Amino acid sequence: MAARLVNYPSLGNYWKLVKSDRVVQNIGMTREHRKNFLLSSIKMAVATLSSRVLGFAREILMAKLFGASGLTDAYQIAFRIPNMLRDLFAEGSFSSAFVPIFTSAKKDGDEHARKLLWSMAIVLLAITSIVCLLIFIFAPQIIQVLTNELFTSDVNRFELSVLLTRMMSPFLAFVSVAALFMGVLNTYKMFFAPAMAPAVFNIIMIIAMVTLPKYLEAKNLHPIISLGIGVLVGGFFQMLIQVPMLFSKGLVKVDGIDLFSSDVKEILKRMSIGTIGVAATQINLLVSTFLATGTVVGAVSWLQYAFRLFQFPVGILGVSIGNSNLVYFSELWRGGKEDEAKAALQTSYITSLFVLMPAMALMFALAQDCVAISFQRGAFGLDDTKMVTEALYAYLFGLPFYGLYKVFSPSFYTLDKPKIPVIISSIAVGINIVFCFSLVGTYGFKILAMGTSVSMIFIILVQSILLFKLLDLRLNFFFPLRFFKIGLSSLLAFYATQYVRGHFPNNIFSTLDNLAAFVTAACAGAIAYVIVLSVLGDYVLIQRFLNKIIRRN
């Protein structure tokens, strides 16, 4: 019988409940679990922030050196192939399938856990190595399938894309094993150090762009090949950097390998079922890539730069909250603590909205400033800024839903319902394809970004309805009073930001002027958000949350 959830507390009382020494009766989540969840999310967010800042610096440097052109389109398309598969094997269906089962395996002892870890590592490495080999062999055919004739008709651009695809293909194997290590360490409540591993990748990418272009030019090779070298080496070290942490937990000792154990088979079964479900975003991006190559030269790069800006808050906040939720929700649900598991899920849901809705509001108000400050220099011109801004607006409609996707989708695997995300996402992909093909001729490349947002909104709406039924939730699980408080506060923050920004001249040629206007307006929006929450009675959370971070540091 489903457990009962009643009388959820206001957002402002969360931290009071965390600090209490009793089990929180009306939430169902213990003080210790709530505190651990919040601290884990904070640690992961800090680590992810470091990585995302470095990743953003990488994109800024790339925009300055290479701009947005047919050659950058060639790189973006080449990298999209292993990157899409990375999301499937590493950050998508594999993580969702592996973590709950590994959590259960740990209960049977360290020997069982180690055996599952290294058995799965061998299987995963074998699968991804085969895929890498196929990518290397069939790179020309893959590029032809993914792009329009307008792209392939340029022989130099096509050949460069094929070369980069082959060069970066091993990245998939490296980063998939890195994600396996990260998932294992997360189950041991190690969130900060594994989340820092992608920072190593970004550092190596930056070093490659700074040091290799002149050397490549001297060898009569295009400087953009430095990106391919950086991806390959960076992926390898992203995997290698986590090995010492496995040593610290005593996980490197191999107690035997069983490649055909029931746990391995179950992980592969869930992984195969979930691949389509978790692939919705990537399939949408591939559709966008194909259609973008048929619009105008540079469209692929414009969409990618816009998506990078859009991913910044999702990557820092949404992924951190989602990964923490996966671990705690799996642990609580499989431990028979249904009330606490549901409370963990709702905490993740509200926390995602709490940070992503104001982020969406501020980015909407300051979209052009975001693009200009980030990318407009060197080879990246004013026209590029305008095009990226148009795409960014379209992506931002789906910002909160991307964060919720990181929370909701993996939950179905813990509930042993892996087919549900598959079915929902398959329908969403169809909606996106019809939407984009129907409107791209009229509205151009920017409608492709809107199609991605529309499909994600559809996924979250359907997943919410099904979770509502599967967990026997009440309506106030998704629409408590604080939901409306967050929405109203975010809306007023948008208007405050827009109002303050309107009092500054729109000097699109001066990065310094833009930066001053951006910082002032963003601070005004953030202050407005905090003030409105305070008036509505939810400021306590912010105050306690910041105090806890300060004391922790």
Cα 328 to its chain centre, rounded Å, is 19
Please tell me the number of Cα atoms within 13 Å of 353 on its side-chain side.
21
pLDDT at 109: 82
9 — pLDDT class (breaks 50, 70, 90): very low
Alpha-carbon gap, residue 59 to 40, rounded angstroms: 28
Per-residue pLDDT tens over the stretch 356-398: 999 999 999 999 999 988 898 888 988 999 999 999 999 999 9
- Residue range 170-194: average pLDDT? 85
pLDDT at 294: 85
pLDDT at 371: 92
Q: Where are the beta strands (DSSP E) in 375-489?
A: none
- Residue range 441-466: average pLDDT? 91
More confident residue, 335 or 157: 157
pLDDT at 333: 79
What amino acid occupies position 408?
A: F
- Residue range 347-354: average pLDDT? 83
% residues pLDDT > 70 (the chain): 82
Annotate 26-89 with DSSP letters as a single string. TT---HHHHHHHHHHHHHHHHHHHHHHHHHHHHHHHHHHHH-SSHHHHHHHHHHHHHHHHHIII
More confident residue, 350 or 36: 350
43 — pLDDT class (breaks 50, 70, 90): low
- Residue range 123-130: average pLDDT? 92
- Residue range 420-437: average pLDDT? 87
Per-residue pLDDT tens over the stretch 531-552: 898 888 776 556 645 554 444 4
**8 Å CB contact between 298 and 70:** yes
Alpha-carbon gap, residue 163 to 158, rounded angstroms: 9
- Has residue 1 got a pLDDT over 50? no
553 — pLDDT class (breaks 50, 70, 90): very low
pLDDT at 190: 78
Alpha-carbon gap, residue 353 to 333, rounded angstroms: 23
Give the tokens for residue 340. 């606490």
Residue 261: φ, ψ to 5°: -70, 165
Sign of CA dihedral 199, 204, 205, 209: positive
pLDDT at 551: 47
Residue 21, exposed/middle/buried by CB under 10 A (0-12, 13-18, 19+)? exposed
% residues pLDDT > 90 (the chain): 32
Give the tokens for residue 96. 């969702």
Chain-wide mean pLDDT for the chain? 82
Tokens 């899920």 found at: 345
Around Cβ 366, how many Cβ atoms within 10 Å? 23
- Has residue 427 got a pLDDT over 80? yes
- Residue range 463-468: average pLDDT? 90
- Has residue 309 got a pLDDT over 70? yes
Alpha-carbon gap, residue 341 to 258, rounded angstroms: 31
Alpha-carbon gap, residue 455 to 447, rounded angstroms: 12
Alpha-carbon gap, residue 481 to 478, rounded angstroms: 10
Annotate 246-260 with DSSP letters as a single string. HHHTT--S-----TT
Give the tokens for residue 282. 């990537």
Alpha-carbon gap, residue 283 to 272, rounded angstroms: 16
Alpha-carbon gap, residue 522 to 197, rounded angstroms: 30
Q: Of 107-111, 298-302, 386-390, 444-448, which range is least confident?
A: 107-111
pLDDT at 529: 92
pLDDT at 206: 96
**8 Å CB contact between 470 and 338:** no
pLDDT at 487: 92
- Has residue 59 got a pLDDT over 70? yes
196 — pLDDT class (breaks 50, 70, 90): confident
**8 Å CB contact between 384 and 68:** yes
pLDDT at 44: 64
Q: The pTM is what?
A: 0.72
More confident residue, 242 or 12: 242
Per-residue pLDDT tens over the stretch 435-447: 999 999 899 999 9
More confident residue, 445 or 472: 445
260 — pLDDT class (breaks 50, 70, 90): confident
- Residue range 20-30: average pLDDT? 41
Contacts 24+ apart (CB under 8 A), 288-292: 288/436, 288/448, 288/449, 288/451, 288/452, 289/76, 289/77, 289/80, 289/146, 289/147, 290/146, 290/147, 290/148, 291/148, 291/436, 291/437, 291/440, 291/445, 291/448, 292/445, 292/448
Alpha-carbon gap, residue 348 to 259, rounded angstroms: 35
pLDDT at 83: 82
211 — pLDDT class (breaks 50, 70, 90): very high
